[in-house]
Chains A and B, each alone.
Chain A
Amino acid sequence: MLEQILALLPQVIFDGLILGFVYAMVALGYTMVYGVLELINFAHSEIFMIGAVVGVEVFRYLAPQVGNGLLLLFIALVLGGVVAGITAILVERFAYRPLRKRGTTNRLVPLITAIGVSFILQDLVRLLEGLWHNEFFLRMRTVEDLEGSVELFGGAIFAQSKSFILMGVSILMLLGLTYLVNRTKLGVAIRAVAQDLSTASLMGIDPDRIISRTFLIGGSLGGVAGVLFALQYTTITPYVGFLPGVKAFTAAVLGGIGNIPGAMVGGLVLGQLENFFGTYLPILTNGNFGTEYKDVVAFLILIFILLVRPQGLLGQVVKEKV
């Protein structure tokens, strides 16, 4: 048994890393919105899904025109990010802002709105794709120069070139976001609004604008993650966002919600847990528990971690805002 586990371990860690980066990118969207508005934006799962759908459509229509696979992917990433970002802005503008302006203090109201928006977006995409292509399952078109693969460490790791692209793009985006939040004027404004919305508005910051931008950034990250997800796992449905969304949200909480490096760490940890138990559960339990229990076990461990460290891995105990 141990032999089997060790033989597979490098592969499992590698695959877990890829899944983890997807979760991390989606988790950033949750964490940013929560940091600024203390709102759990469940519609973010669907922003991710919209990114994936845009990716599929770009590949469907542009693959015959654009010869170069990398260029094609670049176009898909940009368009996926833009469309998802704009959708996120629209959701904020028409679903959350009116509630905020009305001064709703009940936390449950925006949460339920978010769940509702999420259903609306799912069925909207389903309707559109149904009318457009009469398809429920959207398949990412295969493009030859993105389909290469290599074996690393004497065959211990089988890696596809698109996996490296996924990792590369997500690392770039995570670094870019960290720079943006910590070093730019917009970042300062976002942090100021997160700190105290009303005081920030007294300092010459337009909070609505900053909130919009936050949604734009989080949404585009989610969209890009969606495109990469579609490239990696190839089949997309209008409901594909739900599970990765819930897991990314969990990752954000695990890392300490509101904390950007935390979301990244949380995503990576969750990806590893899921892949580890997905692969090894049947081996560890001698076939009594199959792969279907991977999420149960991963979530049990998460609950345990949060019992020990309720503020999350990198989170800080929330103090009274100064």
Chain B
Amino acid sequence: MRKIGMLVAGVAALGMALGQANVIKIATQSPLSGPQAALGEQIKLGAELAIEEAKAKFKALGFDLVLVPYDDQANPDVGVANANRIINDPDILGVVGHLNSGVAIPSSEVYARVNLVMVSPANTNPRVTDRKLPNVNRICGRDDVQGPVGAEYAFKNLKVRNVFVIHDKTAYGQGLAEEFKKRLEALGGKAVAFVGTEETSNFVPIINQIRAARPVPELIYFGGIYSQIGPFVKQLRERGVKTRLMGGDGLDSSEFLRLAGAQNAAGTFYTTVAGPVSAFPKAKAVAQRFKQKYGKDMEGFGIYAYDSANVILAALENAIKAAGGKKPTREQVAQAVRQVKMEGLTGTIEFDDKGDNKKAKYFVMQVASTGNWADNKLIRVIEMAAPGSK
């Protein structure tokens, strides 16, 4: 009896091993529910499209490619819990994500335990790559460049001297606001105030501070996410404050338009690390396929997620070839990612020793008054190397 049982178990285990041997999974982690789902869904769908398109190629190599999306809810605890589930699935060989630096930083430490490679389309906090983890890479820019890019534009082009700086107290928002303030002050401008807030509905106290601030601020800079900046702008304009507004890539979502109201949002400046489809001639065809498949417009992070997934897929292909057609180990994939040099939709992708893209693009944008996010005006594109890279 016992022997039969063992035999059955053995056969079952063998069957499972055989069944799984040729499956390669790529995970995405981004907020799919809750306040930031609009941005997170772009990441999931962008990666999904890339994987769908590569399926045939991997089939020819003898592997089934599968996407496994995880919802990190923009919450570090959830992200880490998912990360633990991800590393326990041996078929997952790469992660595309996250949206939030505050989630990516602790989660990537979990991936690092098993050398699971992560390529981020959206994490801009300097600490994401400054820890020099061998498995952590990003193709987007960094806040210590994005913040200063905004400050330079405000100071030199908008001729703004006094700025009211607000942040949302997260690793992302506060970091961005601090970098903005630093460069502004180095240029000779002044941050009239530097205020943090976790408020989501009643922005009246801050608006009153803005009205009372001396010297009168010529610009408001808000380091945060559209979910907060949208209602803030609506209340600000309703109260008759016309001061210009600038933010980072956190407000780079059409949801910002909906929450603020098209009229109130019009003219808002923002810097982003993920340019719109119009900034990338090569992305046009992909964006059409995206729209056809998902019925939604492809926005900045969708394009970057598409490229991130393709970086992992290119590395996988190289690693499979290097391993003689066998399934590579996670470590081999991580090493292969660092070797990748490819032309993505967003430009050349090549990593330095920290995992930053050697040259990332930064965009200064202005919200259009037409009420259509895709009409936003691209004011300038700046290509800049990550600080400290060789």
Residues in B whose Cβ lies below 8 Å from that of A237: 35, 200
Is residue B211 contacting chain A, with contact meaning CB distance below 8 A? yes
Among listed A11-19, A28-36, A38-46, A62-70, interface-contacting one: A11-19
Closest 9 CB pairs of A and B: A278-B205, A235-B231, A233-B201, A279-B205, A290-B195, A292-B196, A290-B196, A8-B212, A279-B208
Q: Which residue of A lies closest to B168 (CB)?
A: A292
Residues in A whose Cβ lies below 8 Å from that of B328: none
By the criterion CB–CB under 8 Å, are A283 and B231 in contact? no
By the criterion CB–CB under 8 Å, are B235 and A291 in contact? no
Residues in A whose Cβ lies below 8 Å from that of B209: 279, 282-283, 291
Residue A292 contacts which of B33, B34, B198 (CB distance < 8 angstroms)?
B198
Q: Could you list 13 further interchain pairs (A-B, Cβ under 8 angstroms) beyond the known A278-B204, A291-B195, A291-B196? A: A8-B208, A8-B211, A15-B204, A15-B205, A130-B33, A137-B255, A160-B239, A233-B231, A233-B235, A237-B200, A278-B206, A291-B206, A292-B196
By the criterion CB–CB under 8 Å, are A136 and B230 in contact? no
| A→B interface (CB under 8 Å) | 4, 7-8, 11-12, 15, 19, 130, 136-137, 139, 142, 147, 149, 158, 160, 229, 233-237, 240, 275, 278-279, 282-283, 287, 290-292, 294
Residues in A whose Cβ lies below 8 Å from that of B255: 137
By the criterion CB–CB under 8 Å, are A4 and B201 in contact? no
Is residue B244 contacting chain A, with contact meaning CB distance below 8 A? no
Are A142 and B195 also in contact (CB < 8 A) when A8-B212, A278-B205, A279-B209 are? no
Shortest distance in angstroms between A123's beta carbon and chain B's nearest beta carbon? 10
Residue A291 contacts which of B197, B212, B230, B258 (CB distance < 8 angstroms)?
B197
Roughly how many angstroms separate A287 CA and B213 CA in the complex, as a whole number? 12
Is residue B153 contacting chain A, with contact meaning CB distance below 8 A? no
By the criterion CB–CB under 8 Å, are B227 and A137 in contact? yes
Residues in A whose Cβ lies below 8 Å from that of B200: 235, 237, 240
Roughly how many angstroms separate A130 CA and B37 CA in the complex, as a whole number? 11
Is residue B267 contacting chain A, with contact meaning CB distance below 8 A? no
Residues in A whose Cβ lies below 8 Å from that of B206: 278, 291
Residue B205 contacts which of A142, A160, A240, A294 (CB distance < 8 angstroms)?
A294
By the criterion CB–CB under 8 Å, are A292 and B211 in contact? no
Residue B194 contacts which of A19, A147, A287 (CB distance < 8 angstroms)?
A287
Roughly how many angstroms separate A237 CA and B35 CA in the complex, as a whole number? 8
Is residue B193 contacting chain A, with contact meaning CB distance below 8 A? yes
Roughly how many angstroms separate A282 CA and B234 CA in the complex, as a whole number? 23
Residues in B whose Cβ lies below 8 Å from that of A158: 239-240
Shortest distance in angstroms between A206's beta carbon and chain B's nearest beta carbon? 40
| 14 A-B pairs (CB sep. < 8 Å) | A8-B211, A15-B205, A19-B202, A136-B35, A137-B227, A149-B239, A233-B231, A235-B231, A279-B208, A279-B212, A282-B209, A290-B195, A291-B197, A291-B205
Residues in B whose Cβ lies below 8 Å from that of A142: 261
Roughly how many angstroms separate A7 CA and B35 CA in the complex, as a whole number? 36
By the criterion CB–CB under 8 Å, are A290 and B194 in contact? yes
Is residue B127 contacting chain A, with contact meaning CB distance below 8 A? no
Are A136 and B199 also in contact (CB < 8 A) when A160-B238, A233-B231, A279-B209 are? no
Residues in A whose Cβ lies below 8 Å from that of B214: 4
Are A292 and B169 also in contact (CB < 8 A) when A137-B230, A235-B234, A279-B208 are? yes
